[in-house]
Amino acid sequence: MGKLPDYFGVSAFGIKMGVIVPGSDVVELAYESLVLCNEDGFLDDGDTICITESVVARAQNNYVTVNEIAEQVRKKLNLKADSKVGVVFPILSRNRFSLIMKGIAAAVPEGHVVVQLSHPADEVGNQILPEDFAETTGKRNGEVISLEDIGENRFRHPITGVDYIELYQNIIREQSRGSTIFLSNDPLQIIKYDLDGIIVANVHKREGTRDKLLDRGQNVITLQDLCNEGCSWSEWGLLGSNISSGDKLKLAPREADLVAQQLQARVKQELGKNIEVIVYGDGAYRDPSTGIYELADPQPAFGLTEGLRGKYREGLKYKYLVDKMLDEGVKLEAIEGKLEEKKKENFQRNSVETEGTTPRKAEDLIASLADLVSGSADAGTPLILVKGFLNN
């Protein structure tokens, strides 16, 4: 494993790449950083290289404006300036949704926007009501909670302090004539507002929400159907997008599998190393303090090479096996060798030897590890070198 001692297990290192701007050759820049890793003895067969989606999308110049979002909304839902449009289950986020909301409202400047929020939190854990609010007001899960039910003393986001109802009201007010915001966990409640079109805005359960509305004859699309064609586009549409400067939104990278494959091929051809590559976004991490689930992207890995596809991380329950061997009188000096022998055996996923080691997709775990290492602040390491994961 290069300069790392053999007693190291899985390791992840942030690699600096310099500033990446629209038009940059992101594959070449990543390769140049890996050349340095190789020269210093840190690049090996079996390593996984992770590159954050944000620099890939930036290099692709994958940006859309609020006006372009509005145009897409009108086109995909066949709306007019005075139409009524609904938005179901948007997440509570300035970064992720404020400009999308602005674009939706701008699509109907003479019309009305109806927003249905889930409660007590959005799908990624951003809280909008106290946990027991519905219960204290006698509301069942699918019933509507109006702004009048909530009253003036509204709940603010526990971390940012933002009143998201007020934020979304103000955004809509600047672009359109009217707004209605209510809370309910039943997506069919929005049908009562006699809308010309509906945008399903939740991320992970979007298809189920859309299908329920389609079954009721609604004119409905998801965020993935917007900005998935044209000069700037992503197969993910507006899913995985982030606010940029001004009125611009950075989309998720397009064709990220191809980017991963190109970097893998370049490293193999020039450096002779067999690596895997992931283009990663949000890690699948849930903050135990706030309950906020960080995965606002549709999935942790936007693109990956074939060697990772369908691969799971699974293994033996070492703690159980060590205890079992000790109980059976196996000498301490023999246990390690017996564990290595056990690793070569084939065990069913439901066997006692694997109990407590739930198989998980390798791409999700590696992408989550990369996201935690790189963060989203000023570390300046959009490239992550993960060692020992695939061959540990």
Query: What per-residue confidence (pLDDT) applies to 38?
Result: 95
Please report, as a single letter, which amino acid is at residue 256.
A
50, containing H or E segment: strand 48-52
211-229: b or e for each residue (b if 16 or more CB lie within 10 Å)? ebbeeeebbbbbbbbbbbe
8-state DSSP, 14: E
Q: Pick from 132, 231, 119, 104: which is nearest to 164 by CA?
A: 119
The whole-number average pLDDT for the span 279-305 is 91
294 neighbors 372 (Cβ within 8 angstroms):
no
Structure tokens at 88: 């179901």
Residue with tokens 């049908």: 191
d(CA 274, CA 52): 20
Exposure on the CB side of residue 147, measured as CA atoms within 13 A = 13
Q: Which band of pLDDT confidence, cut at 50, 70 and 90, is reported for residue 332?
A: low
Give the pLDDT confidence of 5-33 residue by residue, as tens digits: 888 888 999 999 888 999 999 999 999 99
Give the pLDDT confidence of 149-201 residue by residue, as tens digits: 998 888 888 888 899 999 999 999 999 999 999 999 999 999 999 999 999 99
- Ordered DSSP codes for 238-297: TTT-EE-STTEEEPPPSSHHHHHHHHHHHHHHHH----EEEEE-S---B-TTT--B---S
- Ordered DSSP codes for 76-136: HHT--TT-EEEEES----HHHHHHHHHHHHHT-TTSEEEEEE-SSB-TT--BSS-TTHHHH
Give the pLDDT confidence of 115-156 residue by residue, as tens digits: 999 999 999 999 999 988 988 888 888 899 999 999 888 888
d(CA 114, CA 109): 14
